[in-house]
Amino acid sequence: MAQVRQDYEKFVQRDTVVIAIGPEDRETFQRYWEQQDMPFIGLADPDHAVAGLYDQEVKLLKFGRIPAQMVVDKTGTLKFVHYARSMSDIPENEKILDLLDQLNI
Amino acid sequence: MSNQKVNVGETPPDFTLQDTHGESITLSDFKGKKNVYLIFNRGFT
């Protein structure tokens, strides 16, 4: 998420809303969002309700959930879906920004 | 990757959750208005 914060303005310029969903409860989320001054939308999903809908893998004995990233275009269609293979398997911002450029043509 | 529920070209499952300001955010509300970059986080605690 720190990676996305760095380039947040570039997402905004591309007419894109950034939404992060995490497993913490709302209080923890709120505290973290304030501490880190996160500019985008943060949604607490402590019951894994949404993570379940999207089949995000939950590894209870490790470090929580395996990350996943998706891009939805303005017609409400998924244009990019990435389920990470490991905790550090996160797509580069450049890749996402390039895709958004294509969607905005 | 055949066991994943969500694929490119599909309509993503809709959801509503409260954000850090207590506002309800619904994914489908952005349809026709904005692209959405959805990040499923591993958790920060």
pLDDT in tens, B1-45: 445 578 999 999 999 999 999 999 999 999 999 999 999 988 875
Mean residue pLDDT of chain B comes to 89
The Cα–Cα gap between A49 and A14 comes to 29
A55–B contact, CB cutoff 8 A = yes
Residues 6+ apart with CB under 8 A from A49: B15, B17
Q: In this structure, are residues A80 and A99 in contact, taking their beta carbons and an 8 Å threshold?
A: yes
Domains of chain A as residue ranges with CATH: 2-100 (3.40.30.10)
Residues of B in contact with A37 (CB under 8 A): none
- Is the whole-model pTM more than 0.80? yes
Confidence class of residue A15 from pLDDT cuts 50, 70 and 90?
very high
Share of chain B above pLDDT 90, in %: 76
pLDDT in tens, A57-94: 666 545 567 789 999 999 999 999 998 888 788 899 99
Q: What is the pLDDT of residue A75?
A: 98
A68–B contact, CB cutoff 8 A = yes
Angle, CA B20 vertex, CA A32 and CA A67 arms, to 5°: 65
Residues of A in contact with B31 (CB under 8 A): 74-76
A8–B contact, CB cutoff 8 A = no
**What is the dihedral sign for C-alpha B8, A22, A5, B29?**
positive
